[in-house]
Amino acid sequence: MSERTAFWRGSIVLLSLLTTVFTQAFAEERTTMDPRLVTPGKLTVGTGDPVYPPWMLNNDPASGEGFENGLVYELAAEMGFDADDVVWVGQTFDQAIAPGNKPYDFAIQQISVTEARKQIVSFSRVYFQPEKAVLALPGNTLENATSYDELRDARWGATIGTTDNDYLVNVLGVTEAAIYNEQVDVFQAMRAGQIDGTLISLPTALYVTAVQVPEANIVALLPPDENDRGHGLLFEYNNPLVEWVDDALTAVIDRGVVEDLKAEFLIADPDLPIITE
């Protein structure tokens, strides 16, 4: 008899243990202890190294000052994380798109969502769709351009990894733009007279003309490319966290956080000319 009771008692204990483990695993999903996180208890976020204003100010993502890190801290709060639980991982663009396991839950680096990229990585919903700005030095032919045809005749430069080159190819029909590794190289080529101008997302262009290359001007704005869905958070392909982060992101966007951040960090000059054809 005692043996049998021991057996039943043992099975019951085992069963209850199993159920607690299971229910706990499911109960922990969508909490800060979610086992699907890279480090449960922490929200690990990848971003560029270095990071550039106005997306993140002072090369310090943890400060929370800037459009993108501001958004991440709002998102983390929405998901239940304390600001201290957000861990930043620096990476280059090449590392962001490299195959294999990613050392973060998601990355935020002004990465544009496109159909082709979706085959390789997963994206959150789009949180921002920037306009494109044409940047040129004073006295350049681009200053007086008023149509796509005139833009097409210029010598263009762009940074690799951005969708700026895709824009040049798909919208303007410029196929021979010089493509550089870094943004500074584009400006150096512009100063050296190797290219006439560059295409760049408007918030970056505003910062660049204000701080980095004050002699350059934004000479025109261009409408968004319909193939470029805008910036999204980048996940490892089929990361199960996408749904949770998407829900939180939707809540954050609905609260008007993105609009506020835009107003604070990404203000455009309303007087810039727009070229649409």
Smallest separation (angstroms) from another protein to the CB of 41: 27
Stretch that binds another protein, among 7-15, 43-51, 156-164, 252-260 (CB under 8 A): 156-164
CA nearest neighbour of 155 among 217, 185, 215, 197? 197
Smallest separation (angstroms) from another protein to the CB of 188: 5
CA nearest neighbour of 275 among 161, 131, 159? 131
Nearer to another protein, 2 or 238 (CB): 238
Q: How many CB atoms lie within 10 A of CB 51?
A: 21
Backbone angles phi, psi at 175, to 5 degrees: -105, -10
Smallest separation (angstroms) from another protein to the CB of 180: 5
Stretch that binds another protein, among 51-59, 127-135, 171-179, 196-204 (CB under 8 A): 171-179
Nearer to another protein, 160 or 251 (CB): 160
CA nearest neighbour of 191 among 210, 209, 208, 213? 213
Nearer to another protein, 36 or 117 (CB): 117
Residues that bind another protein (rule: CB under 8 A) add up to a total of 31
Site for another protein in 16-55 (CB under 8 A): none
Stretch that binds another protein, among 53-61, 65-73, 82-90, 116-124 (CB under 8 A): 116-124
Annotate 123-159 with DSSP letters as a single string: EEEEEE-PPEEEEE-TT-GGGG--SHHHHHTS-EEEE
Determine the Cα–Cα distance for residues 254 and 135; give it in Å rounded to an integer: 33
Nearer to another protein, 65 or 185 (CB): 185
Element (H, E) at 26: helix 2-28
Is position 235 an interface residue for another protein (rule: CB under 8 A)?
no
Site for another protein in 81-100 (CB under 8 A): 93, 97, 99-100
CA nearest neighbour of 121 among 141, 158, 84, 95? 95
Asked whether the beta carbons of 268 and 132 are under 8 A apart, the reply is no
CA nearest neighbour of 149 among 127, 174, 169? 174
Stretch that binds another protein, among 37-45, 75-83, 112-120, 134-142 (CB under 8 A): 112-120
Binding mask 172-191 for another protein (x = CB under 8 A): ----x-xxxx---x--xx-x
Residue type, 251: A
Contact residues for another protein, defined by CB under 8 A = 93, 97, 99-100, 114, 116-117, 119-121, 157, 160-163, 165-166, 176, 178-181, 185, 188-189, 191-195, 237
